[in-house]
Amino acid sequence: MAKILIPTPLRPYTDKQDAVDASGATVGELLADLTRRHSGLKAHLYNEQGKLRSFVNVYVNDEDIRYLQKEQTPVTASDTVSIIPSVAGGVPATTDADANVGSVRLQPDRELPALSNDEVKRYSRHLIMPEVGVDGQRKLKAAKVLCIGAGGLGSPVAMYLAAAGVGTIGLVDFDVVDYSNLQRQILHSTPDVGKPKLQSAKEKLQALNPEIDIRTHEVALSSHNALQLFEPYDVIVDGTDNFPTRYLVNDACVILGKPNAYGSIFRFEGQASVFATRNGPCYRCLYPEPPPPGLVPSCAEGGVLGVLPGLIGVIQATETVKLIMGIGEPLIGRFLIYDALRMRFRELKLRKDPDCPVCGTHPTVTKLIDYEQFCGIAPAAPEPVTVNNATELTALELKQRLDRGDKLTIVDVREPNELQINRIPGSVHIPLGDIPKRYNELDPEAELIMQCKSGVRSGKAADFLRSVGYKHVLNLKGGILDWIDKVDPTQPKY
């Protein structure tokens, strides 16, 4: 027998007594006996699953049983057991998102749509979680998310958002599915090669979830269309692979006040964060200036582990649904770096920069600019007509000259593993990075044809050789890809 102290609100169930006796060797047994003697208490102490309600605190003497052995905590006749309320409450859940700092401000007057019976069945694993519930699912249904890119990152993002029931998903892309996409872009499959990515994406997403609205925008995102394109959406998911678009997406998000669920991938490393929320930092707070052109290679140049965008895209999708529902701790002011080879995550703290040119206190960038120029990439100018002073030649021209018996040295500047895939017969191999220390292996009087995969790296090598006095240097336009297309289709492309 032990004494249990009863709090004010429960005293009507114990004949107004503030202390009653009950028997049992543990807290659990004691409370079971208490509710047998005073049956009205049961509904208030225990939930439907028979667990003590979260706001019911039980103390043995002055210790919370959560820090002892919970309901197995032993009690003796000399112990005093107290039931002590936590009193909690809050504003209605349907509009929690408005009040939560880390959440998206969905258009305030937007009605939350109801769920059909089919939707209840489809989303039942969401609905049974109190953190999501019917209200969270209705928020997802009301939400509009725009994915920039339907490629490596866009694939897992769009698929999981579609599956989760985000009511409107927009996709921006103007590319066509290529064999080299299939290693990671799981929205697209082998029969889709040659189709526009948006067509393939829409078919997959609509098959996955016919309840949602898929909007396709088959355009190249630019300073002219970005604001108009973003306007109807609540969250923008950046799945782009180049710096001009990344800065464009960031600036447009800041200007419109829309959160940017950011992700990027390269080789074995991924990054993710949430930018451009009301009080959080933006991409420019982290990187005020773009890297010099060509310094950071793209995935097409440097490669990417196929499963990597899966993980980073799913982080972006996770942050997006959290923002929409206004739950959890968003990835705002934190920059996540993932290393797939070491299987490690690092987290950098990120602060909003008061001097940020876009989101700072005195912004200097208040409308969208020319991002190609900002990133030092010259706009595609008409080909210079330099007949007598040519700097490049085409695959067909190279073939003709080789057939004619001209003495040419073809210098392949790709990495060794790329040469295992394909090679122009007779080429010598010096990787681009080795050119500065090995160029003297090349005869300054010989005619040199610089070659790589597509002509970008070999162009840099050619520029370098000219700068150190080589006079007869030509760049193979379109690289080995063009060579295979026009001259030697038996070799594989990558």
Catalytic residue, candidates 147, 282, 285, 452: 452
Catalytic residue, candidates 299, 356, 359, 375: 299
Site for other proteins in 72-131 (CB under 8 A): 84-93, 95-96, 98-101
Position 64 contacts other proteins (CB under 8 A):
yes
What amino acid occupies position 445? Answer: E
Q: Is residue 299 annotated as part of the catalytic site, yes or no?
A: yes
Q: Which residues pair with 52 in a beta bridge?
A: 46
Residues in the chain, overall count? 494
Q: Which residue number, 186 or 327, has a Cβ lying nearer to other proteins? A: 327
Going 103 to 109 to 114 to 119, the CA torsion angle's sign is negative
Q: Which residue number, 214 or 332, has a Cβ lying nearer to other proteins? A: 332
Q: Which residue number, 88 or 295, has a Cβ lying nearer to other proteins? A: 88
Site for other proteins in 245-284 (CB under 8 A): none
Q: Is residue 253 annotated as part of the catalytic site, yes or no?
A: no
Min dist. Cβ of residue 85 to other proteins (A): 5
Min dist. Cβ of residue 36 to other proteins (A): 19
CB < 8 Å & 24+ apart, contacts of 180-185: 180/493, 180/494, 181/151, 181/152, 183/306, 184/152, 184/155, 184/304, 184/306, 184/307, 184/308, 184/309, 184/310, 185/150, 185/151, 185/152, 185/154, 185/155, 185/309
SS3 per-residue string spanning 15-27: CCCCEEEECCCEH
Q: Which residue number, 37 or 438, has a Cβ lying nearer to other proteins? A: 37
Q: Which residues pair with 19 in a beta bridge?
A: 5
Residue 467 — left, alpha, or beta (φ > 0 → left; ψ -120 to 50 → alpha)?
A: alpha
Min dist. Cβ of residue 91 to other proteins (A): 4
Number of residues forming the site for other proteins (CB under 8 A): 31
Contact assessment for residue 275 and residue 333, using Cβ atoms and an 8 Å cutoff: no
Contact assessment for residue 200 and residue 191, using Cβ atoms and an 8 Å cutoff: no
Cα–Cα distance measured from residue 472 to residue 464, given in angstroms and rounded to the nearest whole number: 12
Contacts of 348 (CB under 8 A, 6+ apart): 334, 335, 337
Min dist. Cβ of residue 361 to other proteins (A): 22
Site for other proteins in 4-63 (CB under 8 A): 7-13, 40, 43-44, 54-55, 57, 59
Min dist. Cβ of residue 174 to other proteins (A): 41
Q: Which residue number, 43 or 390, has a Cβ lying nearer to other proteins? A: 43
Min dist. Cβ of residue 46 to other proteins (A): 11
First CA to last CA distance, the chain: 80
Cα–Cα distance measured from residue 118 to residue 123, given in angstroms and rounded to the nearest whole number: 9
DSSP 196: B
Q: Which residue number, 47 or 373, has a Cβ lying nearer to other proteins? A: 47
Q: Which residues bind to other proteins, rule: CB under 8 A?
A: 7-13, 40, 43-44, 54-55, 57, 59, 64, 84-93, 95-96, 98-101
Residues with catalytic function: 299, 452
